[in-house]
Chains A and B, each alone.
Chain A
Amino acid sequence: MLSIQAHTTLGSMRLDVELAVAPGECLALAGPSGAGKTSALRVAAGLLRPAEGRVEANGETWLDTTRGIDVPADRRRCGYVFQDYALFPHLSACQNVAYPLRGLSRHERRSRALGLLERFGLAARAEARPGTLSGGERQRVALARALARGPEVLLLDEPLSALDARTRAGAARELAAVLRESDAPALLVTHDFAEAAQLGDRVGIIDHGEVVQEGTASELAAAPSSAFVADFTGAVVLTGTASRGPDGLTHVELDGGGTVTTTDDGDGAVAVSVYPWEIAIEPAGVQPHGSTQNHLTAEVLSITTIGNRVRLGLGGPQPLAAEITLASAERLQLEPGARVTATWKAAATRLVAA
């Protein structure tokens, strides 16, 4: 069990976080840069001392400002993976992993370090300096080094952000496997909701130093508590004014024109959110005749192919994004400048505070 409470001012920013992570669980803190994600990790590791706070790890108090307890960073058994990995450039991969191993014979340290490197498929790179390792290899060395001391808590700062897109998918799968195997509570921070959803058992959205919503990734995506969370989870967010219609649905007059209907309740200034993959595309001028309630005319601004699907950037009164299959995009002969109608169901439309 890891629990962190921190209340402090960092320069011009407030940090007010209260987090708890169960043994074997991974809590992924996701938020934009400057939201205080890394600061939360640094408080846990003892690298940053908050004005007020408590940190407890497996029943041991690492920090309690009211009782004047502050265990120094080097006595807190936490495995910290730094954003740029912070590998020691003058030491080989093996020496990096052996660095935290103390009170053992030279031979024992080396064989343990080699064992860890082997587990990460790096036995052949044991003598290489970090400067000659690829991004993916560095990430695995950093992970092996963080695990070497048998940490009670795992702290991971953007563990995948230094990797190129090609390496990232594989590294994410490997990291997920490591996290599943580990009994230690893990706190991971990322600016990418998809990464948080993939690696975290639970996800906390952090903004301006505060955790604004916490839950499983699907809970957050299905019921975002604010426009910020909706936007962060990858939804399209449109703003407007809501009013209750006679049909029992809520109608939102969008800023800039157009109306959207939702099954959620609300009135006044609101934001509506819908996921890009809920949006269907029809050629402009064709009256949609299915069950969808929402129809907005828009212009195709950009077409990005992502594997077998296509992400469309749409311009209208407010920008939209839709994801459709590559096959559909080809059938509709979409290209930038084409006029289309974006349609989606009122039931897929969430109403959140603006």
Chain B
Amino acid sequence: MRGGWFGVLLFLCLAAALLFLTLPIAAIFVDSSPGELIDSLGEQGALDALWLSLRTTAAAIVIILLVGTPAAYLLATRSFRGKALVVTLIELPLVLPPAVAGIGLLAAVGPSGILGGTLDAAGIELSLTTAGVVVALTFVASPFYVRQAMAAFAAVDRSLLDASRTLGASEARGFLRVMIPVAVPGLAAGTALALGRALGEFGATLMFAGSFQGITQTVPLAIYDRFSTDFAAALALSAVLVAVSGAILLSVKLVQGGAALGGWQAD
């Protein structure tokens, strides 16, 4: 290896990081037999949690994509006074402790929150409901997507948008036909980050929506619920979460690799 002792140092650091990061994940699979895993998954509570996690995450991601994509495009293509402040406010939930996010949601849209009365009058109940889970997931996950999508749009050559306009396309058409397809690798990466964050969301959901089986108990809450009484079941659910998260990461890599192979990413 080039670089003598420095090269050895680099190599050792990578080896340490790799070991530290993969050991717990490997342990989840090593510590439980495949038979036990499948048995534990047959339990109704586990199935409810899985189904709920998938539904709420999917709903949150749809909301994040529909609202976050145009918002990120605006932030990436326009400059206006106070833009830095707007970006900072959008990024704030990234560094917020989940418990703070839960309290904040309760104070804002909880039954006695500042918008609680308005929502109640409209017949919308969020806290301790499945809809509340979606709100919590959207709140914690959307900054991951918006940030990444902003960077993806900002990296697109502005002359493409200009070209689209001089070719008779409105800005909306250029956004749909040019900007989004060209930014797809970055948007996919942002979606994956948000998906991962939403799937693993724990603190804000627990505080805002509670942990009721089939209603608000997502997989991370179900794992927490079981780990002191039924460690095998907790392990089995964890294994499923690892598999789903791994699949998400892999599909993003494939989307990005496919784009690069198509010859327009590295261009």
Name A's B-contacting residues (CB within 8 A).
45-47, 72-80, 82-84, 86-90, 99-100, 102, 129-132, 145-146, 148-149, 155
Contact = CB atoms under 8 A, between A and B. Distances in A.
Q: What does DSSP make chain B's interface, helix, strand, loop or mixed?
A: helix
B168 A74 contact: yes
Contacts of B267: 89, 130-131
B263 A73 contact: no
A82 B167 CA distance: 12
Nearest to A128: B263
Contacts of B171: 74
Contact of A145 (B159, B167, B262, B264): B167
Contact of B164 (A99, A129, A131): A99
A77 B177 CA distance: 20
B165 A129 contact: no
Given A74-B165, A129-B264, 15 more contacts: A45-B162, A46-B165, A47-B165, A77-B168, A79-B166, A84-B159, A88-B160, A88-B163, A89-B267, A90-B182, A90-B264, A102-B168, A131-B263, A131-B267, A149-B167
A216 to B, nearest CB: 29
A73 B166 contact: yes
21 contacts: A74-B165, A74-B168, A74-B169, A80-B166, A82-B159, A83-B159, A84-B157, A86-B157, A86-B160, A86-B163, A88-B182, A89-B264, A90-B182, A90-B264, A100-B167, A100-B169, A130-B264, A131-B263, A131-B267, A149-B167, A155-B166
A102 B173 CA distance: 12
Q: What does DSSP make chain A's interface, helix, strand, loop or mixed?
A: loop
Contacts of A73: 162, 165-166
Contacts of B168: 74-75, 77, 100, 102, 149
Nearest to A131: B263
A265 B182 CA distance: 60
Interface in B218-267: 262-264, 266-267
B162 A47 contact: yes
Nearest to A100: B167
B42 interface: no
Interface in B148-193: 157, 159-160, 162-171, 177-178, 181-182, 184
Given A80-B163, A82-B159, A88-B178, A74 B170 contact: yes
Please give me the 3 A-B residue pairs with the lowest Cβ-Cβ distance, nearest first: A131-B263, A89-B264, A100-B167
A89 B167 CA distance: 16
Interface of B: 157, 159-160, 162-171, 177-178, 181-182, 184, 262-264, 266-267
Contact of A129 (B167, B184, B262): B262
Contacts of A78: 166
A83 B157 CA distance: 12
Contact of B167 (A47, A99, A132, A155): A99
A73 B267 CA distance: 27
A72 B171 CA distance: 10
A86 B177 CA distance: 14
A79 to B, nearest CB: 8
B162 A86 contact: yes
A149 B162 CA distance: 16
A89 B263 contact: yes
Contacts of A86: 157, 159-160, 162-163
Contacts of B169: 74, 99-100
A45 B182 contact: no
A127 to B, nearest CB: 12
